[in-house]
Structure 1
């Protein structure tokens, strides 16, 4: 069983880069297409607890976010972010790499190599 998980969106070039970089290192990874297999609220809370980044960074503030009329200031806590991503998984920043008790958003791309090297 892989001790590395990549939360991946196939339509995202940065996410594809992370999966390719993992493969190039020879590491085994469990790749989860989170839009096909959305994380539960409990899984999101656990992920946010492992994330090296602030909870707000896990939320994409893109056109879809703005189209929903959302305010980024409302999504800075673990609970608020988890609730939002349960309702709208496509707003999760990607890729996310998880190993043990640590997780990192693989954006920009150079964060992937640094995380894998640790």
Structure 2
């Protein structure tokens, strides 16, 4: 039977719904959302500052991104310096804990299709996942 699902978040055949890990106060995140909407995509929004990721979700996202916890960190945040997260002796478990305790450290925006994810820096980068 033909799939007649009209959910805008699934407009690309063969992909799970798109999820945008989003901070509405971030201009880059808002720009990424606008670019997606201009392409006819209405992603599910995960406002990760209001609804923080749990450990399993964070590990899954890192796997989709093919990144380490350190690579996902916003190094310009004050909490990054306060916690001395540039310290190369910190292991991934410690960095994951910092990301979980301080979700503001997570780079944004991130677009996921359930299998792959991309950081939208610059915001146009999210369009690569639509191809």
TM interval, short-chain normalised: 0.7 to 0.9
Unaligned runs of 5+ in 2: 1-6, 10-16
Query: Which structure shows the higher helix fraction?
Result: 1
1:57 aligns to what SS in structure 2?
Answer: coil
Is contact 2:77-2:105 (8 Å) kept? Answer: no
Query: Which structure shows the higher strand fraction?
Result: 1
Q: Does 1:16 align with 2:44?
A: no
TM-score (norm 2): 0.77
Q: Which has the larger radius of gyration?
A: 2
- Return the alpha-carbon distance in structure 2 between the equivalents of residues 36 and 60 of structure 1: 18
Q: Does 1:40 align with 2:59?
A: no
Seen in structure 2, the aligned counterparts of structure 1 residues 104 and 52 have a Cα distance that, compared at 3 Å, is farther
RMSD: 2.0
- Tell me what 1:27 maps to: 41
Unaligned runs of 5+ in 1: none
Residue of structure 2 aligned with 1:99, choices 113, 118, 125: 113
Deviation at 1:66, TM superposition (A): 4.1
How many equivalent residue pairs?
Answer: 116
